[in-house]
Amino acid sequence: MPIYRAPVDDFRFVLNELLELDKQRDLPGYADVTPDLVEDILTNAAKFCEEVLQPINQSGDEEGAHFENGVVRTPKGFKEAYKQYSEAGWGGLGAPTELGGAGMPSLVTMAVAEMAMSANQSFAMYPGLTSAAYSALAATGEPWMKEHIATKMISGEWCGTMCLTEPGCGTDLRLMKTKAVEQPDGTYKMTGTKIFISGGDHDLTDNIIHMVIAKIPDENGQIHDDLSTVNFFMVPKFLVSEDGKMGARNGVSTGGIEKKMGIKAQATCILNFDEAKAWRLGPKPAPAKPGEKRSASAGMAGMFGMMNGARLGVGIQGIAIGEVAYQNGYAYVHERRVGHALTGPKEPDKSADLEIVHPDVKRLLLQSRAFVEGARALAMWTTLNMAIARSKRPDAEAAGYLSDLMTPVLKAFCTDMGFEAANAGMQVYGGHGYIRDNGVEQFVRDGRINQVYEGANGVQAMDLVGRKLGRRGGAAPLALFGEINAFLEVNASDAAMAPYTKGVKRGLDALQAATFWLASNGLANPNNAGAGASDYLRLMGITVVGWMWARMAKVALTKLATNPSNAQFYKDKLMCAKFWMERLIPECPMLLERIQAGSETVMEFE
């Protein structure tokens, strides 16, 4: 049976030593976040994930979600675990206190989310999507919705979903056909079909609140193939009155659940809306004047706010799946015996050495570990920047640019590398990894979806290159280059840091050259940007994670100088940092060369 132990020590290191959480008390929501409180949250969340969620992960995958006679049921143990999860308050950990939540900042809640995803990705998606839905409702909903609906979602009494994708419309929302027709009372009747809806229906709660995007027909009853009439709606499974009472079943039905490669315990549904009662969220769009070009509706802002939060969450899923796959691979190679060490038997009295003695096995596991710990630091640094962006600090504007820039990087790079780590964890098992009983092949299957949903990774790369780089005159990449260069300058004369700063500079040089090449050649020929976008995103991911490793190496060197009792922990940090510089950073010049190859050969392909 697979194992999982929450990496609490590493969360402590990133929060307390790298990001110095105790010095962030001036940020909104951080005033009461003491080290003791954070420790209590981390240790209790770890215990819950290890003892409640992880034991039903493999069994949930084997059983899967059920769809019978129009009813969806989750696997054995999920309903009881969800009840415990809600009663313990984990679902409302980051929710506003005025709505019944604990008000913890995202820097803390993301650590808990990662643990839950490692322990049981299928389960964690139910409350994870609910969090995205109630956050959107709290930001855009009417007061009665916040008081009577969001509070029930925060308490765990009700769940929530995101309903975006349609059979003929995924990324290109202009092609969406679901429509919402306004009624005399100001509500809407919605008709259409949505697919791939995670947690779309289930037996965990009495009601499910769907956050749906749909088009409002124009004055002639037509819907257009553009974004001008796309709006954001709340559609409950069971109707809810303005005093919070649950009423009759709404016109939302489940057409089936998807038969998937992975996350089989997650009920991924086809939902049919048949004149379902819907409430529009956000301001009503103003009609276009005669001769005026229709513009994107105000409802898109609410949808993108929800999506950006989800993209960060999916990036964390990539880290989480890498963590649990690494842990299982690491445990296995300390039990399995195969061959002898290349330099001679390590245990001559045994018929074979443990698998961990072999260099290629070490390489596979070390790359996974270096990715997980480096990406975790990047995700938490980005989350901290989101909080700084909402503050009155002098660097608030730059922090906003940085967090905006990192969102597609975290989503795509972390899920790509998380999938690589899942494969590495399975690989060290040899043939036993391909056998379902051992459980590691589940991590490969579960992790694969992370590269696809909430905007496929190629789309994230295009968002990075096509939108994020040039916005506000390139303010975001310039802010990033400035931060990294400042770090390199401060540590330029530190000989002990040279193995790390040289690697970061090599990555930064390639990243800057690629950025300037795209700024020139991507504008001249957009296909150059498209052909190089995925390579550029990986180049940025390797570089910024390398920067995180250099920063962590600085902390580790400082700590080792004081002879700490846990010296091995910091030595391991230096080992991972050196591995990243030696094995990942060398990809950067190669990626630059591929980007500069342009699009001519790619576009020859018909």
Beta strands of 155-251 (E only): which ranges?
159-163, 179-182, 188-198, 208-215, 230-236, 238-240, 246-249
Please count the other Cβ atoms lying within 10 Å of the Cβ belonging to residue 276. Answer: 26
- DSSP-assigned letter for residue 289: P
- CB neighbours (10 Å) of residue 103? 16
User: What CA–CA distances, in Å, run from 499 to 293, 377, 549?
Assistant: 56, 19, 11
Closest by CA to 196, choosing from 444, 457, 453, 416, is 453
**Mean pLDDT, to the nearest integer, of 201-216?**
96
Tell me the pLDDT tens digit for each residue of 237-270.
999 999 999 999 999 999 999 999 999 999 999 9
pLDDT value, residue 295: 55
Q: Of 119, 88, 127, whose CA–CA distance to 205 is shortest?
A: 127
Note the CATH architecture for domain 159-287. Answer: Beta Barrel (2.40)
Q: What is the DSSP string of 73-98?
A: EPPTTHHHHHHHHHHTTGGGTTS-GG
Compute the distance between CA of residue 203 and CA of residue 79 in angstroms, rounded to an integer.
Answer: 7
Residue 349: is it exposed, middle or buried by C-beta count within 10 angstroms (0-12/13-18/19+)?
Answer: exposed
Q: DSSP character for 337?
A: B
What's the pLDDT band for 218 if we cut at 50, 70, 90?
confident
Express each pLDDT in 307-338 by its tens digit.
778 889 999 999 999 999 999 999 999 999 99
As a whole number, mean pLDDT of residues 339-354 equals: 96
pLDDT given at position 219:
82
CA neighbours closer than 13 Å in the CB half-sphere of residue 264: 20
* CA quadruple 447, 384, 33, 31: dihedral sign: negative
Residue 226: count other Cβ atoms within 10 Å of its Cβ: 16
Which pLDDT band, with edges at 50, 70 and 90, does 306 fall under? Answer: confident
246-249 and 238-240 strand pairing: antiparallel
d(CA 475, CA 456): 25
Average model confidence (pLDDT) across the chain: 94
Pairing, β 66-68 against β 71-73? antiparallel
Identical fold between 8-155 and 159-287: no
> How far, in Å, CA of 90 to CA of 92, rounded?
5
Provide mean pLDDT across the span 393-399: 96
Q: What is the rounded distance in angstroms from the CA atom of residue 332 to the CA atom of residue 325?
A: 11
Q: How far is CA 473 from the centre of its chain?
A: 27
- pLDDT value for 196: 96
- Residue numbers annotated as active site: 454
What's the pLDDT score for residue 296? Answer: 56
Q: Is the pLDDT of residue 179 over 60?
A: yes
- In this prediction, residue 293 has a pLDDT band, given cuts at 50, 70 and 90, of low
Element (H, E) at 539: helix 526-560
Locate tokens 């991507």: which residue? 522
Length of the chain: 606
Q: Give the tens place of pLDDT for each residue, 47-76.
A: 999 999 999 999 999 999 999 999 999 999
Dist. CA 374–CA 358, nearest whole Å: 24
> Strand, coil or helix: what is 231?
strand
Q: Look at the alpha carbons of 68, 71, 72, 73 in this order and tell me if their dihedral is positive or negative.
A: negative
Q: What's the pLDDT tens digit per position in 560-581?
A: 999 899 999 999 999 999 999 9
Q: What's the pLDDT score for residue 287?
A: 63
Enter the tokens of residue 184. Answer: 């005399």
Residue at token pair 């004081």: 562
The predicted structure's pLDDT at residue 392: 94
- Residue 220 confidence (pLDDT) above 90: no
Token representation of residue 22:
């105790």
Residue ranges of domains in the chain? 8-155, 159-287, 456-606
What's the pLDDT at 569?
97
Amino acid at 258: E
Beta-sheet strands, E only, within 170-328: 179-182, 188-198, 208-215, 230-236, 238-240, 246-249, 252-257, 268-281
Q: Which two tokens stand for residue 190?
A: 């919605």
- Asked if residue 520 lies in contact with residue 595, where contact means CB atoms within 8 angstroms, the answer is no
* Reported confidence tier of residue 488, pLDDT bands at 50, 70, 90: very high
Rg of the chain taking only CA atoms, in angstroms: 25
Confidence band, pLDDT 50/70/90 cuts, at residue 9: very high
Q: What's the pLDDT at 226?
A: 79
pLDDT at 39 over 70: yes
State how beta strands 71-73 and 246-249 pair: unpaired
> What is the phi-psi region of residue 439: left when phi exceeds 0, alpha when psi lies from -120 to 50, beta otherwise?
left
pLDDT at 292: 63
Sequence letter at residue 51: E
Quick one: fold of 8-155? Butyryl-Coa Dehydrogenase, subunit A; domain 1 (1.10.540)
Percent of the chain with pLDDT over 90: 90
d(CA 303, CA 300): 5
Comparison of pLDDT for 290 and 263, the residue scoring more: 263
Averaged pLDDT, 379-386: 97
Rounded to whole angstroms, the Cα distance separating 303 from 8 reads: 33
